[in-house]
Amino acid sequence: MIPVRGFDGAIVAVLGLGRSGLSAARALREGGARVVVWDDTTAARERAEAEGFEARRLDREEAFDDVACLVTSPGIPHLYPQPNTAIAAALRAGVPVDNDIGLFFRSLGHGWDSYDQPPKVVAVTGSNGKSTTSALIHHILSASGRDSQLAGNIGRGVLDIDPPGDGGVVVLELSSYQTDLARSLTPDVAVFTNFSADHLDRHAGLGGYFAAKRRLFAEGGPDRAVIGVDEIEGAYLAGQLSEGRADDRVIRVASGQKLSGPGWYVFARKGFLSEWRKGRQVASIDLRDIAGLPGAHNHQNACAAFAACRSLGLGPREIEAALRTFTGLPHRSQRVGEAKGVTYVNDSKATNVDSALKALLAFPKVRWVCGGLMKEGGLEALQPGLAHVSRAYVIGREPESFALQLVDTDVEICGDMATAVARAAADAEPGEVVLLAPAAASFDQYDNFEKRGEDFIACVEAELAKE
């Protein structure tokens, strides 16, 4: 646990008692704060009370008369589309609002004066690939013998980790919900994977979404920034952070295009990762036969992870060796079975159009299981990947409306996962991939994308058992 510093003897309120909220309450108490809590769910409040926390309603301004700070969970809106009533009450009362990420950064460095090598924090954000990139950085560090912990939006809550030891590294995956509110953001290395439209209602549009991501780089001023520049937002961010073309504090990353100049670049083209510094190539890795990193989108993730680990002093060959032992993450380009020349891949995490497009482009012939709760913007951006689709098998509560947007694509309305997988398995020919890449949220039929992916896996296993 990382005890929260700066609130010894003060009252701090915690709103939302899920994983991050309850973890924050414990860490605050460990640091000497008196903690009051609230969650709209009775069971969550009862769990907190069983641990000795005082429950207090927080939807009125007077509830904050003696409160020094309100700590809120990332899923609770603090500004758009409208603030939660408790957060609005805190703001009216003039009480600062923070989250567990802000508490983590303000508290992490306690006791480091005795270390020979201060620990480092690598923070990863972006629209897609955050989890894979974060897990890959952690895997490379661990495989290279470095003390590493993975936390944030993946793995453990940030305040649940052990205090890092001498020279240790903490790798954080951070969503826009987390970076948008944190009052302290001071990573040593910050990574921006890529950018595409997502969570637009929460951030009041594309500009607000980008601003939330940008805070990780603008607020804390990382020593090194790894920036994916395939989109204009990334190129703009890299330009803002750089003092000139040769400024190697910014490592520019790309997939599908060559980068050149006097700076520091890592890019992937035709399946090869290349590192260039000061106008010459210094390393190259063949990514094509690395099973855990299929497709151009995973090559982009590999470039970002490579760059982050190089900035921490690791050599190209030890990074390459670790890449070859990476097995990938559940629900992200996860190979779950193969029979009669047909491969089954679970990419349930492809909840938006951009990530689904990248999944489609990773395979030449696809039996595509798709559909769910559509996000803003429609499906038009999927068009470049539809040429890879032999047939789309649409699930969800309103599959017809989803299917209508798949212009010039062979579509079968299935409704549920079992029907979609059964029909795709029956139709698939050797060399094809049955791919779950929904291009939609899961909440119309599932609690989360993990449950959707688990259902896909169960349905695939049931089909394979018939062989």
Give the span between the Cα atoms of 436 and 446, in whole angstroms.
14
- Report the first-to-last Cα separation within the chain, whole angstroms: 49
Residue 130 assigned ligand-binding role: yes
The SS3 assignment for 448 reads coil
β-pairing, 280-286 vs 250-255, is unpaired
Helices within 144-199 (DSSP H only): 176-181
- Of 102, 32, 38, which is closest to residue 64 (Cα–Cα)? 38
Give the span between the Cα atoms of 255 and 410, in whole angstroms.
30
Residues with Cβ within 8 Å of 307's Cβ and at least 6 positions away in sequence, in order, are: 191, 226, 251, 253, 264, 266, 275
Report the 10 Å Cβ neighbour count for 274.
Answer: 17
- Of 295, 270, 294, which is closest to residue 284 (Cα–Cα)? 270
Residue 193 assigned ligand-binding role: no
Give the span between the Cα atoms of 188 and 133, in whole angstroms.
16
Sheet holding 334-339, edge to edge: 334-339, 342-346, 433-436, 366-370, 389-395, 411-415
Residues with Cβ within 8 Å of 183's Cβ and at least 6 positions away in sequence, in order, are: 96, 98, 102, 106
Exposure letters 365-379 (e unless 16+ CB within 10 A, then b) = ebbbbbbbbbbeeeb
Residue 274 assigned ligand-binding role: no
Give the span between the Cα atoms of 352 and 187, in whole angstroms.
28
Give the span between the Cα atoms of 109 and 344, in whole angstroms.
45
* Beta pairing partners, 283: 275
The SS3 assignment for 354 reads helix
Residue 129 assigned ligand-binding role: yes
- Of 371, 246, 377, 266, which is closest to residue 316 (Cα–Cα)? 266
Residue 301 assigned ligand-binding role: no
Cis check: omega of the bond before 81, within 30 degrees of 0: yes
Residue 128 assigned ligand-binding role: yes
β-pairing, 280-286 vs 272-277, is antiparallel
Residue 284 assigned ligand-binding role: no
Give the span between the Cα atoms of 64 and 116, in whole angstroms.
43
Q: What is the CA radius of gyration of the chain?
A: 23
**What's the angle, vertex CA 457, arms to CA 455 and CA 461, rounded to 5?**
115
Binding site residue list: 126-132
Binding site residue list for ATP: 126-132
